[in-house]
Homo-oligomer: A and B are copies of this chain.
């Protein structure tokens, strides 16, 4: 009836791979890196690395993201652990996928320095190594579920944004068109936005009012959850 004793033979390498979502110009994007070591050197890949003995997975994800992008204080969440036996042909590795949400407009300068990384539109991202495309799908499904059950946007939009941007973000995540009036009515019913005096003049002559999130109310809604259905 003994099920297990610690058996050093079965030790494996644990990888962390990051699905980094961003949003810019009405498009959902994903940050990829050109892999510079074997196997699959030169191909596009998620940003990843290995868990070290002295850290937990959340810390590893933060470290790996920081190391490859210079970014700090980024929202990250564990998605799923992938373990197909031959997923990495070079060595038995298991990989824990994390997704990150980034406001590209704010962070782009830090990122541009970093050489072999690149933002792709999610829709025309290249084929990735190993099982990374499956990871992206799974993370995307998670992001979609999150958008339906809690407010989203704080991590992906600049501090000030227009209603149109917010709507386009939801449309990109949910992959659907939404009615302008219904969207605004619905979102206002959550009571987490603050309307500013300022206008954004970049996309129309008339200008569109800027909004920001009421951080406290936003957080409360993230805790409590809601049902976004529109």
- A residues within 8 Å of B by Cβ? 1-15, 36-37, 47-58, 64, 67-68, 78, 80-81, 83-85, 90-94, 96, 114-116, 227, 229
Known: A14-B12, A51-B83. A3 touches B78 (CB 8 A): no
User: How many copies of this chain does one complex carry?
Assistant: 2
Given A3-B48, A10-B51, A10-B53, 4 other A-B residues pairs in contact with their CB atoms under 8 A: A10-B52, A12-B14, A56-B85, A83-B96
Contact: A51 with B94, CB < 8 Å? Answer: yes
A47 to chain B: closest residue by CB: B3
The answer for the CA separation of A55 and B96 in the assembled complex, in Å, is: 16
Query: Please, which residues of chain B bring their CB within 8 A of the CB of A15?
Result: 4
**Mind listing 10 A-B residue pairs with CB under 8 Å?**
A3-B47, A5-B37, A6-B13, A6-B90, A10-B51, A11-B12, A14-B14, A53-B92, A57-B81, A58-B83
B residues within 8 A CB of A7?
Answer: 13, 50
Pair A80/B78 contact, Cβ less than 8 Å: yes
Q: In the complex, what distance in Å separates the CA atom of A36 from the CA atom of B3?
A: 9
Q: Which 10 A-B pairs have the closest CB atoms?
A: A11-B11, A57-B83, A4-B49, A56-B83, A3-B49, A81-B81, A4-B50, A6-B91, A56-B84, A10-B50
Distance A51 CA – B93 CA, assembled complex (angstroms): 12
The residue on B at minimum CB distance from A81 is B81
Check A9 against B53 for contact (C-beta < 8 Å): yes
In the bound complex, how far is the Cα of B198 from the Cα of A28, in angstroms? 54
